[in-house]
Amino acid sequence: MLCRAVSLGQSGGELRFTGDEFEAKECPSWAEPVNGELVTKEDDYDPSVDINRDSRIINAVNQLDHDNDDHWTGEGNPRMSAVEELAGFDVKSAEVKALCPGVVREQ
């Protein structure tokens, strides 16, 4: 079955972002079949993946202003203090690297 993620989730050991399409026997609770019929499967819930936290980190990184020097390090990486302010909680750089690989300041 072809599924589309409607929020951040994990399938087959891979993070799936909103809008990602992937094949699965059944769509997990955070995805819907491409035909649009929402399917909820409680047994697919993985408590080790904090979808709300991950989503808030990704949203914070997406809100960083590429023209604002306070949002980026000298190397062009997201400044953790800016990500934390936008997310509303402490964030580790490893989380940003895992959730937003390759994000650097656009020149």
Q: For the segment 41-73, what is each residue's pLDDT rounded down to a tens digit?
A: 444 445 555 567 888 888 889 899 999 999 999
* Start-to-end C-alpha separation, the chain: 41
pLDDT in tens, 2-22: 777 777 676 666 667 767 777
Instruction: Report domain extents, the chain.
Output: 2-41, 51-99
What is the residue-wise DSSP string for 10-28? EETTEEE-TT-EEE-SS--
The type of residue at 1 is M
pTM score of the predicted model: 0.55
Place of tokens 């690989």: 101
- Positions of E strands within the chain: 2-5, 9-11, 14-16, 21-23, 31-33
